[in-house]
Amino acid sequence: MEGKRSLPFCRVSLVGREMEYVNEAIRRGRLSSDGDFCRRCETLLSEMLGGAAVLMTGSCTAALELAASVLELGPGDEVIMPSFTFVSTANAVCRLGAHPRFVDVRPDTMNIDETLIEAAINEKTKAIFPVHYAGVGCEPETIISQSETHGLHVVEDSAQGIGARFNGKPLGTFGAMAAFSFHDQKNVSCGEGGALVVNDRRYLEKAHIVRDKGTNRKAFFDGATSFYSWVDIGSAYALSNLAAAFLLGQLEKTVEITQEQIAIYDQYMNGLAPLAEEGMIELPTVPDRAEHNGHITFFFVRNRSLRDDLLGYLKAMGVPAVFHYVPLHSSPYGQRLGYTARDLPVTEELASRLIRMPMFIGMRSDQIEFVVTAIYDFFGVKRPH
């Protein structure tokens, strides 16, 4: 194949009116939180999610922490979640003194195995935080049914889920609340940003209070109270208006972004399919009822050693492929919580074999072909035409 290239792993591209909106925000001189662009993002997201209430936040981490605070999680509480997730899912729980109860994942999607949740529920369980990995919905209907049976709260970690659906319904609209990310590596981005979706409006007033540093600021500006004061414990979780201005330009193009991400994903999967048919790699599965958003392209090799060798080879060729999460249960802090690597064998085994490919809006077909061909070359297989 041709010589070494240098590809970015991810990259934010201008797709719409981002710079026009940013310049407008600057001209108006309103850059802090809760400005007009924040409200426009909230309105657009609400429309995309079927009318749910939306609060813009500075990150998905902030949205998860906000949700955990609204649920008043604390010492003695347990929250069921997968171990194969970013640390923010667990931090939102641990920072309040609650305990994550890690559950193994499904081998086809790397989402939480819904058939194992029932056995993890006990008298300490207060909530379930399912994660929609790679923009592929977990089994939200099953999880909601289990939560209703046991009187539990469900907060969807939909960090990667913008534009994706399950059974025709947008991810982020199943649980009492949901958290989205608009980080650099997400399909729709403003560099660093997030949103809390409140589907159960019983939590909406408190969500505003906690997001607004524990004050009744929203009630004051809505004219519902004659004073603006400290009424509860909160923090600075809101998104800046400048970031929201950029984000609005991206959100307006969510459909187009999703279509391009899926096209990149499909080209990768089609290119790698012959290797999978030969048993050299394993490709992920998108269940029939899940409409994914093409957020992540990944596959599995046979073992950790082969993964490390392939990653080293791709790096030498200028391809920034990576493994993904180190499972939280086997991390140093997870071990401090009492977990061992043997506790979740499916998670541990699959995470050690997973490779994630570079992908970004604007990625050219020849760049994708270069990555795929490099993988064939590593395995010493001539690529079919």
One domain, residues 344 and 240: no
Q: What is the pLDDT of residue 223?
A: 76
Does 208 fall in a domain? Answer: yes
User: Measured between alpha carbons, how far is 161 from 111 in angstroms, rounded to an integer?
Assistant: 12
User: Do the beta carbons of residue 190 and residue 180 sit within 8 Å?
Assistant: no
User: Measured between alpha carbons, how far is 79 from 65 in angstroms, rounded to an integer?
Assistant: 13
Structure confidence by residue, pLDDT tens digits, 278-337: 999 999 999 999 999 999 999 999 999 999 999 999 999 999 999 988 999 999 999 999
Structure tokens at 167: 């059974």
Does 3 fall in a domain? Answer: no
Of 198, 225, 251, the last residue of a domain is 251
Order of all β-strands in the sheet with 169-170: 169-170, 165-166, 290-291
- pTM, rounded to two decimals: 0.95
Q: Look at strands 78-82 and 99-103 and give their pairing.
A: parallel
User: Do the beta carbons of residue 63 and residue 179 sit within 8 Å?
Assistant: yes
One domain, residues 245 and 368: no
Dihedral of CA 291/293/296/299: which sign? positive
User: Measured between alpha carbons, how far is 277 from 282 in angstroms, rounded to an integer?
Assistant: 9
One domain, residues 240 and 308: no
Does 372 fall in a domain? Answer: yes
Cross-strand pairs, 355 = 299
Does 72 fall in a domain? Answer: yes
One domain, residues 36 and 136: yes
What is the mean pLDDT, run by run of 10 residues, along the chain of 385 residues? 72 95 94 92 98 97 98 98 97 97 96 97 98 96 95 98 97 98 96 97 96 90 85 94 98 98 98 96 95 97 97 96 93 93 93 96 96 97 84
Burial class (CB in 10 A: 0-12, 13-18, 19+), 200: middle
The CATH number linked to 342 is 3.90.1150.10
One domain, residues 83 and 187: yes
One domain, residues 170 and 306: no
One domain, residues 100 and 163: yes
Cross-strand pairs, 230 = 215
User: Measured between alpha carbons, how far is 56 from 33 in angstroms, rounded to an integer?
Assistant: 9
Q: How far apart are the first and last CA of the chain?
A: 14
User: Measured between alpha carbons, how far is 55 from 218 in angstroms, rounded to an integer?
Assistant: 12
Does 51 fall in a domain? Answer: yes
Of 236, 251, 266, the last residue of a domain is 251
Spatial CA neighbour of 241 closest among 19, 22, 27, 33: 33
Burial class (CB in 10 A: 0-12, 13-18, 19+), 107: middle
Spatial CA neighbour of 271 closest among 347, 350, 359, 166: 359
User: Measured between alpha carbons, how far is 303 from 323 in angstroms, rounded to an integer?
Assistant: 12
One domain, residues 125 and 217: yes
One domain, residues 220 and 263: no
Structure confidence by residue, pLDDT tens digits, 214-232: 999 888 888 788 888 999 9
**Chain-centroid distance, C-alpha 16:** 23
Alpha helices in the chain (DSSP H): 18-28, 36-48, 60-70, 87-94, 117-120, 140-150, 204-211, 217-221, 241-251, 254-277, 304-316, 332-336, 345-351, 365-379
How many structural domains comprise the chain? Answer: 2
State which residues form the domain around 144.
Answer: 18-251
Q: What is the dihedral of CA 231, 202, 141, 87, to 10 degrees?
A: -10
One domain, residues 260 and 181: no
One domain, residues 71 and 127: yes
Does 115 fall in a domain? Answer: yes
Spatial CA neighbour of 58 closest among 46, 66, 50: 66
One domain, residues 93 and 170: yes
Q: Look at strands 169-170 and 177-181 and give their pairing.
A: unpaired
Q: What is the pLDDT of residue 105?
A: 97
The CATH number linked to 151 is 3.40.640.10
Of 251, 270, 301, the last residue of a domain is 251
